[in-house]
Amino acid sequence: MPNRPKHNQYKEKKIGAVFLGFLCLVSFLTASAQDNNSNKADSVINQLIRYRAVYENQIREYDAQLYVKGNTKVWKKNLLFRYAPDFFYLNGNSDSSFVESIIKLHYTYPDYFSHDMIAANGHKINIQDIRERLMPFIGINIYNPTVFRDYAFLPGNYNIFKYYSFEYIASIDTLNYTIHQVKIVPKIQSQKLISGCLYIVDDVWSIYKIDISGRQDLSDFKITTTFGLPHHRFLLPLTSEITIHFNVLGNEAVYSYSTLSEYNSIKLNDGSEENRPESFDLSLYYHSSSDLVPIIGDSLFWEDLRPNPLSMDERRLLSRNNERKKESTLSKIRKFSPGLFSPKRQRHKDINLYYSGFINPLSFYYSKMDGIVYRQQINFSKEYETGREFQFNPSVGLLLQRSEVYFDFPSRWIFYPGKSGFVDFSFRNDNKSFNSSIINQINKMMPDSINFDDFNIDYFKHYRFASESHYELANGLILRGGINYDWYSPVKDNSARQDSETEHDLADELVDWVYDQYYAFAPVIGLSWTPKQYYRFNGKKKEYVRSDFPTFSIEYARGIKGILGSESDYERIEIDIQQKIPAGLMRSFHYYLGAGWFTNTKSVYFADFKYFRKRNIPESWNDPIGGVFHLLPGNWYNASNRYIQTHFMYESPFALLRLFRRVSKDILQERIYLSQLYTPVLPSYTEIGYGFGNFLGNAGLFVSLYKGKIDSFGAKLAFDINR
């Protein structure tokens, strides 16, 4: 091949250099533009945060009426959709549905909303769907750091730059106002963060519109809400378009809602509230919507309320709602099936009933200590016009690994709802136990040499009947009193006495007491106090809400001989202190400190504490922080006549999993646990744990340490769907 002329080579090099320089210039200008857009966006967001302090408390209270229209279209479905619709608020009988409703909304600063659905109409109405899926998205204070019932972060303070980056998109002229469009980009994949755009009015730095999307539980949502311009209710939402896309396990559906708000009264914050004495009554700020919603089919009633006429499809669905069709056998099975495969809730007048589902796969738990646990639960309540109420909430747990059944049959009679006055009765079985005879033997040994297998120690089954009354002496000050009656039945019968005589170990010394029934009768009195306790009245019933101070408790029990066969003569004292401390955006720190001891023990007794005992029927993510050790074998709970326990827990939506983007997007909360136990025979027992959870359920990993050395590892898993 002949060589190219040198001037052509020089020309090509020159063109290449010019092209390279052009690319560098474009890259530089693009980067500069991006930096400028980012800086401009950050400047707008900073102004928004500055003015937030003015706008967030400008409105003290308002009442509004919302017209809501919703359409549902099912694209895919399988057996889960048909036979377990309650898991996901689905309707197993129809591929399409239409609903319209009127909702009364009341707002009180800072972020208290109550919703009352006063009328509904449509085809295949699912009230639970509207309450659980839609209501968290309507009625928001857009200037709060969190929205949607503390579900997601919005730019509310300067910490928001840790979680979001912002891009300036454009400026828009609307009715003589300049509106800045700023894009929100999450830095972390999390259900607590949203993406989309904010439209912010120049000079006054209020939000004119939000167009955001995110993920809630098993659904993707998109929300467009328009607020008024300055001097025209510019702090309040006027219209919203909400789309929820559900797609899981072969089921796919799209829920579309539109809302229109009409404001009846608006009260501005004039500063008069600041001079009022502090009130702990939050009754005006909370309200529970009635379960009984009137279904109104009068076309004239709705025509006056609809902002726009119905579409052809909506009219067709509405007309089908009045058609009476013969119910087939299959449809009857489907109607009943939620009670078998998923939780079932029913309300009839003043009676409420909840059933966990007979073959509900989500009634299973797993932990290292107990293996698989299967739980059945029924909640029954009857309310009276006076506010009094009767409750009966039995539960049964089957521990498959240990082939044991645990039950609890509690009932409650609320006789003075305004003073938290009630009486509890319960009958349950507890962890297998042993009495003070073996406790004394254990105390003579070194903890390192204790092997419970050598003791063959599961000698007594424990049953308890308890009655306890509860009454409020003053706000936050609760007096408790009652009676515990325990009986202990030996696992072995008398025929085992001769068999055990061939063994020559520690069990020989204990064989005399393992074949007798033991009974204990013990009156109990307790007192708990929470300073500055906030509360509300739900109807006539007083309910505690929160406090900025810890709760202090003390309980005293006295075993008395000679009553109903009781042979126990002892005193039991337990004290504790616990508190939940907010630690920033959706973060909290929990602590629990407790101690208990037996004293004046003048007879054989069983070291069964109230706040330090094994929970054989777990409560999943909502396990009480006090007294919960996940890896501690049940024998240790009864091996000593005194204890000191501490539990610490840190809860945050962003902890360890923020390092794994693909995983963190589906996590709602993470927890870090640290627990410490002291007993004379177990002087240093530590548990460290990490847990995470979402709408589906939760899981935890734990490690136990004895005297600072790793002892064992374990895990815990539970489902939480629709619980």
At 21-39, the pLDDT tens digits run 555 554 544 444 455 666 8
pLDDT score of 511: 44
Tally DSSP H helices, then E strands, for the chain. 12, 33
Instruction: Say how far apart CA 452 and CA 160 lie, in whole Å.
Output: 53
Are 664 and 592 contacting, i.e. CB atoms less than 8 angstroms apart?
Answer: no
Q: Where is average pLDDT lowest: 56-70, 100-114, 160-174, 380-394?
A: 100-114
Q: What is the pLDDT of residue 1?
A: 42
Range in 250-264, 277-291, 301-315, 549-563 with the lowest mean pLDDT: 277-291
| pLDDT score recorded for residue 347 | 75
Residues 526 and 531: their CA atoms lie apart, in Å, by 17
Average pLDDT over residues 5-12: 50
Match 């087939």 to its residue by tokens: 328
C-alpha dist (Å) from residue 476 to 467, 544, 552, 582: 22, 8, 10, 20
pLDDT at 225 over 70: yes
CA–CA separation, 279 vs 282, rounded Å? Answer: 8
Classified as helix, coil or strand, 135 is helix
Q: Which of 675, 587, 574 is nearest to 625 (CA)?
A: 675
Distance CA 330, CA 348 (A): 25
Res 87: pLDDT: 56
- pLDDT band, residue 13 (cuts 50/70/90): low
Tell me what pLDDT residue 478 has: 96
Q: Per-residue confidence at 504, pLDDT binned at 50, 70, 90?
A: very low
Q: How far apart are CA 110 and CA 144, in angstroms?
A: 8
Q: What's the average model confidence in pLDDT over 40-69? A: 86
Q: Given the structure tokens 């694209």, which residue do they identify?
A: 75
**Element at 332 (helix H, strand E):** helix 329-336
CB atoms within 10 A of CB 93: 13
**What is the arithmetic mean of pLDDT over 636-661?**
82
pLDDT band, very low/low/confident/very high, at 249 (cuts 50, 70, 90): confident
SS3 618: coil
What phi-psi label fits residue 357: left (phi over 0), alpha (psi between -120 and 50 degrees) or beta?
left
Query: 661-680 pLDDT, tens per residue?
Result: 666 566 778 889 999 999 98
State the Cα angle at 481 between 480 and 483, rounded to 5°: 140
The CATH number of 343-719, from 3.50.50.60, 2.60.40.10, 3.20.20.70, 2.40.160.50, is 2.40.160.50
Residue 446 has pLDDT above 50, yes or no: yes
- In this predicted structure, what is the pLDDT of residue 4? 47
Specify the pLDDT at position 522.
95
Contact (CB, 8 A) for 576 and 595: yes
Q: Which amino acid is at 170?
A: A
Predicted confidence band of residue 232 (pLDDT cuts 50, 70, 90):
low
The pLDDT of residue 200 is above 80 = yes
What's the chain's average pLDDT? Answer: 78
Instruction: Tell me which of 469 and 638 has the higher pLDDT.
Output: 469
**How far is Cα 185 from Cα 54, in angstroms, rounded to an integer?**
26
What is the arithmetic mean of pLDDT over 517-529? 93
Question: Cα torsion for 625, 631, 635, 639, to the nearest 10°?
Answer: -60
Residue indicated by tokens 């600063």: 109
Please give the single-letter amino acid code of residue 326: K
Q: Poorest-confidence range of 28-32, 257-261, 391-395?
A: 28-32
Angle at 703 between CA 697 and CA 706, to 5 degrees: 150
Strands 669-679 and 642-652: antiparallel
Question: What pLDDT score was predicted for residue 324?
Answer: 43
Percentage of the residues of the chain whose pLDDT score is greater than 70: 73
Q: What is the mean pLDDT of residues 451-460?
A: 59
Q: Identify the pLDDT of residue 506.
A: 44
Among candidate residues 236, 222, 230, 231, the one with its CA nearest the CA of residue 202: 230
Identify whether the C-beta of residue 560 lies closer than 8 Å to the C-beta of residue 569: yes
> pLDDT-derived band of residue 466, with 50, 70 and 90 as boundaries?
very high
How many Å is the Cα radius of gyration of the chain? 32
Evaluate if residue 89 carries a pLDDT over 60.
no
Q: Give whichever of 7-11, 299-303, 445-449, 520-524 has the largest mean pLDDT.
A: 520-524
584 vs 52 pLDDT, higher one: 52
Please write the tens of the pLDDT for every residue from 681-707.
Answer: 888 999 999 988 776 778 889 999 988
What's this model's pTM, rounded to 2 decimal places?
A: 0.76
- Average pLDDT of 495-521? 55
Q: Cα–Cα distance between 312 and 265 in angstroms, integer?
A: 35
| Domain boundaries of the chain, sorted by first residue | 42-77+90-310, 343-719
* Residue 291: predicted pLDDT: 56
pLDDT at 521: 95
Report the candidate in 701, 668, 690, 717 with the shortest Cα–Cα distance to residue 363. 717
Averaged over 627-631, what is the pLDDT? 80
Distance CA 258, CA 66 (A): 10
Q: Which of left, alpha, beta for 139 (phi over 0: left; psi -120 to 50: alpha)?
A: left
Dist CA 541 CA 560 (whole Å): 36
**Phi, psi (rounded to 5 degrees) for 129:** -60, -45
